[in-house]
Amino acid sequence: MFERIEWKADRALLGDLVFRLEHYKNDSWELSDRCFVFYKIKELIDQYERAFARRPGWKPRHMLELGMWDGGSLAFWFELLQPEKLVGVDLAKRDDSAYFREYVAGRDLGNRIRTYWNSSQADRPVLDRIVNEDFGGHLDLVIDDASHLYLYTKTSFETLFPRMPEGSLYIIEDWAWGHWKPFQAPDHPWANEMPLTRLIFDLVEATGTSIRLINSLEVYEGFTIIERGPMAAEELKDFRLEDHISRKPEPVVAPRHRSVLRAVMKKIASR
How far from each other are the two terminal CA atoms of the chain, in whole angstroms? 59
Q: Find residue 143's DSSP bridge partners.
A: 65, 171
Spell out the domains of the chain, with CATH numbers in brackets: 59-269 (3.40.50.150)
pTM, 2 dp: 0.90
Mean pLDDT per block of 10 residues along the chain (271 residues) reads 93 94 86 90 97 94 95 95 97 95 96 97 97 96 97 98 97 96 93 95 96 96 97 94 91 69 77 68
d(CA 81, CA 43): 19
pLDDT (0 to 100) of residue 256: 66
Nearest by Cα to 52 from 109, 3, 114, 113:
3
Question: DSSP 3-state assignment of 156?
Answer: helix
Question: DSSP 3-state assignment of 132?
Answer: helix
Strands 223-228 and 169-173: antiparallel
Give just the sign of the alpha carbon dihedral 136, 140, 146, 148: positive
pLDDT (0 to 100) of residue 11: 92
d(CA 227, CA 169): 5
pLDDT (0 to 100) of residue 147: 96
Question: DSSP 3-state assignment of 251?
Answer: coil
pLDDT (0 to 100) of residue 28: 83
pLDDT (0 to 100) of residue 254: 63
CB 58 within 8 A of CB 228: no
pLDDT (0 to 100) of residue 81: 96
CA 88 vs CA 42, 245, 260: distances in Å: 22, 30, 57
